[in-house]
């Protein structure tokens, strides 16, 4: 048996204690039974006491005894100050523990305490199961709470939540409860967070205080952290300036600076110290930009402006058109992809000496020659006279074919658009007789084109002889709004205003084709849709599934094998809502892009849903929208889209008159480096009605086409201003890792 080194005696061993009355004590005598000097300590434990409660219910003197020799004893005085279990009444056993660090031993004795009804007020006990909350603006947060009455008396409690704006608590910040003796009640406060700009992203500490009629108040503390949300918007007005702003025909080395107002609106819940950076200074040779003020402190919900003063050195004879691109930098980057982005500003710098001041009558002669040449857009022998509705590039991007409201079909030399003295317009292929709405190259050898007309006619033209090979229709006056060839050039598919999509067998040689009788003809197959059809594109390499888009924001897959129609879920639209355009890349047809008149560009990945659709299996499609954005053209309608052969670049033309390139990642999403795309071209605005005071109109772009040739993108576009444009753009870096060589 182990030897006991400590002897403990307690006097008395039974006491009566009334909380709130006089302290009651007892003595603890400790004798050192060991053979060496030792110090002793005393600790009192009570059954049912809260183990995390501070030792405030009793006092011991001394707290630690001096070291005493073997056989000697020491005395401790213990006084009870409060009940170890608030509200307890009855007989309680307390354990007195005596221990010594030197002896590595302890001794325990039990004392009985009769606890009477006390006079000390007892606080309510509060417990928050969750002490750290996290939410986003607009969320509703429920704060659960448990309230315990430890006393032996019923009480009326008032709970009050402090630390939040009272408007955040729709049910109020107070709760009144009747709580019985020893009863626990669960309650909750509901916090409804306001919208983004009224909820600063930070940590909000709060306290719940419980006051009651039977004692002092109790409290519990927690915090609510609001996550960052929202975005900053960035707008620049005007979008275009001229140096000098007035009287540009007068000589002068520098014109007065022109000013752009850069307007920022903080629609987030983060205060931002905002600066603006000139992103492409290499393009602005001789141009200086000064920002006033240099930075903006803009709080949530606020709108403020910077003034960008631009000054440019004027060339002697030939004007310049730099496009300074300004990017906004935020002090707090927690908004991630919601940064305000960048704006490309248009600037025209007039020459110092216009040519007419130098050469006198030479401009008149030049004008006369120009008026008679192919350079004059009003010369009926050259170019279109009305809006260009459709353009297409041949396989090598050396030629562009165009169709217009003026009923002309024209062919153009691509490279001549970058060499001013070369003739761009190679001439008239033919006159269709009605406005041309759609056009497509024959894919095999590009020696023929098919055109769709306003009156429902479909014509096939030979580009080698400039003669019409065929002219047919299914229903008169059923507008042809979309045309595509199959890759083997046997079938042409046409989309019509009535909702019909027709497949035409055009696999004939030239002699047979010439002998076909013009007029009404039965298509090889047909399918009817309940909306006007504006766009067609194959979504699989086998050309078994055709994407059909049009009015009411409709996007439908037509299975050519089973004739099944599968409607893809998209934003619901009314009779004035259209998906104008749909496109897929030749090498990656599972990537599909659409553009609509609400300004949205949407990119789909049909990998998951295509097998079910192609196999004709029932069930909802699982096609995935992998990226979409509404402000590619300033919220204006997106009229036309075209994807490069490898699917690495998306070209768009919009109602705002702009042509843009969107570099894409390999999965089809936008490259993060170009969130606002890359500006390529712009139609020239004019004043409608009065040339001085009439409203300024920017003609829209109606059609775009793109080919990727070596390290360049060849982009063709046609606009309502009757112009055909061809731009050669160096392929921007993107996350697509495009294949090298000709594509």
Q: Is the pLDDT of residue 29 over 80?
A: yes
Q: Is the pLDDT of residue 173 over 60?
A: yes
pLDDT over 70 percentage in the chain: 88
pLDDT of residue 233: 84
Q: What is the per-residue pLDDT across 45-71, written as a single tens digit (0 to 9) for each?
A: 988 776 655 677 889 999 888 899 998
pLDDT of residue 371: 55
Q: How far is CA 650 from the centre of its chain?
A: 18
Q: Is the pLDDT of residue 81 over 80?
A: yes
pLDDT of residue 743: 35
Q: For residue 694, how many C-alpha atoms fall within 13 Å in the half-sphere facing its CB?
A: 10
- CA gap 139, 459 in Å, rounded: 59
Mean pLDDT of 712-732: 93
- Name the helix (H) or strand (E) containing 362: helix 362-371
Cβ-count burial of 549 within 10 angstroms (0-12 exposed, 13-18 middle, 19+ buried)? buried
Mean pLDDT of 651-663: 96
Q: Is the pLDDT of residue 208 over 60?
A: yes
Instruction: For residue 338, give the 3-state DSSP assignment.
Output: helix
User: DSSP assignment of 127-141, as one string?
Assistant: E-S-SEEEE-TT-EE
Q: Of 9 and 20, which is predicted with more confidence?
A: 9
Q: Of 20 and 10, which is predicted with more confidence?
A: 10
Q: Please, what are the domains in the chain?
A: 6-115 (2.60.40.10), 125-226 (2.60.40.10), 234-355 (2.60.40.2310)
Q: What is the pTM of this model?
A: 0.53
| Average pLDDT of the residues of the chain | 85
Mean pLDDT of 721-741: 78
What Å distances lie between residue 203 and 136, 200, 224, 227, 343, CA to CA? 12, 9, 6, 9, 34
pLDDT of residue 741: 35
Q: Is the pLDDT of residue 536 over 90?
A: yes
pLDDT of residue 739: 44
Hunting for tokens 């062919």 — which residue is that?
411
The torsion of the CA quartet 520, 524, 525, 529, rounded to 10 degrees, works out to: -40
- CA gap 513, 23 in Å, rounded: 118
């Amino acid at each position: 048996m182990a030897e006991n080194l400590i002897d403990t005696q307690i006097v008395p061993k039974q006491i009566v204690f009334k909380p709130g009355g006089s302290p009651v004590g007892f003595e603890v005598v400790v004798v050192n039974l060991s053979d060496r000097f030792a110090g002793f300590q005393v600790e009192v434990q009570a059954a049912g006491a809260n183990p995390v409660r501070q030792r405030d219910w009793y006092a011991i003197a001394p707290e630690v005894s001096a070291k005493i020799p073997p056989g000697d004893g020491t005395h401790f005085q213990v006084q009870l100050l409060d009940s170890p279990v608030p509200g307890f009444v009855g007989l309680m056993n307390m354990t007195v523990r005596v221990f010594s660090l030197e002896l590595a031993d302890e001794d325990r004795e039990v004392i009985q305490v009769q606890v009477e009804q006390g006079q000390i007020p007892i606080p309510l006990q509060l417990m928050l199961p969750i002490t750290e909350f996290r939410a986003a603006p607009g969320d509703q947060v429920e704060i659960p709470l448990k309230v315990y009455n430890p006393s032996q008396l019923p009480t009326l409690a008032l709970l009050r939540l402090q630390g939040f704006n009272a408007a955040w608590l729709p049910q109020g910040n107070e709760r009144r409860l009747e709580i019985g003796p020893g009863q626990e009640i669960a309650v909750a406060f509901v916090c409804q967070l306001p919208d983004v700009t009224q909820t600063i992203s930070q940590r909000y500490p709060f306290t719940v205080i419980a006051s009651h009629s039977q004692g002092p108040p109790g409290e519990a503390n927690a915090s609510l952290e609001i996550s960052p949300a929202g975005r900053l918007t960035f707008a620049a007005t005007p979008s275009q300036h001229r140096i000098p702003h007035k009287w540009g025909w007068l000589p002068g080395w520098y014109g007065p600076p022109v000013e752009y107002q850069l307007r920022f609106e903080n629609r987030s819940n983060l205060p931002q110290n905002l600066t603006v950076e000139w992103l492409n200074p290499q393009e602005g040779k001789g141009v200086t930009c000064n920002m006033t003020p240099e930075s903006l402190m803009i709080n949530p919900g606020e709108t403020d402006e910077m003034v960008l003063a631009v000054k440019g050195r004027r060339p002697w004879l030939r004007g310049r058109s730099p496009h300074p691109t300004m990017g906004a930098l935020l002090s707090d980057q927690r908004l991630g992809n919601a940064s305000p982005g960048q704006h490309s500003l248009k600037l025209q710098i007039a020459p110092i000496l216009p040519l007419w001041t130098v050469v006198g009558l030479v401009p008149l002669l030049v004008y006369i020659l120009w008026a008679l040449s192919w350079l004059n857009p009003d010369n009926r022998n050259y170019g279109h006279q009305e809006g260009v509705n459709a353009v297409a590039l041949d396989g090598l991007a050396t030629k562009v074919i165009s169709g217009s409201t003026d009923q002309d079909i024209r062919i153009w030399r691509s490279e001549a658009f970058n060499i001013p003295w070369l003739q761009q317009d190679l001439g008239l292929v033919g006159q269709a007789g009605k406005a041309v709405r759609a056009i497509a190259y024959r894919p095999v050898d590009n020696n023929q084109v098919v055109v769709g007309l306003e009156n429902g006619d479909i014509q096939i033209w030979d580009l080698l002889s400039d003669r019409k090979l065929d002219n047919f229709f299914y229903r008169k006056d059923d507008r042809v709004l979309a045309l595509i060839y199959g890759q083997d050039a046997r079938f042409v598919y046409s989309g019509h205003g009535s909702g019909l999509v027709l497949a035409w067998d055009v696999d004939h040689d030239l002699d047979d084709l010439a002998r076909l009788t013009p007029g009404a003809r039965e298509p090889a197959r047909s399918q009817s849709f309940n909306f006007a059809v504006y766009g067609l594109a194959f979504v699989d390499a086998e050309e078994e599934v055709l994407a059909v888009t049009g009015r009411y924001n409709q996007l439908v897959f037509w299975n050519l094998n089973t004739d099944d129609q599968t409607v893809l879920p998209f934003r619901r639209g009314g009779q004035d809502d259209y998906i104008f355009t749909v496109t897929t890349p030749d090498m990656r047809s599972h990537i599909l892009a659409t553009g609509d008149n609400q300004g949205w560009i949407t990119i789909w990945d049909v990998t998951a849903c295509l097998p079910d659709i192609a196999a004709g299996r029932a069930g909802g499609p699982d096609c995935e929208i992998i990226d979409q954005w509404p402000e590619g053209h300033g919220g204006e309608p997106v009229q036309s889209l075209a994807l490069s052969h490898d699917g690495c670049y998306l070209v768009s033309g919009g109602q705002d008159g702009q042509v843009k390139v969107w570099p894409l990642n390999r999965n089809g999403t936008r490259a993060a480096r170009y969130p606002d795309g890359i500006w390529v071209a712009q139609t020239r605005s004019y004043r409608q009605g009065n040339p001085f005071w009439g409203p300024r109109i920017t003609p829209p772009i109606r059609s775009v086409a793109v080919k990727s040739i070596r390290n360049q993108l060849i982009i063709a576009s046609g606009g309502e201003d009757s112009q055909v444009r061809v731009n050669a753009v160096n392929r921007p870096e993107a996350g697509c890792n495009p294949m090298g060589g000709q594509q």
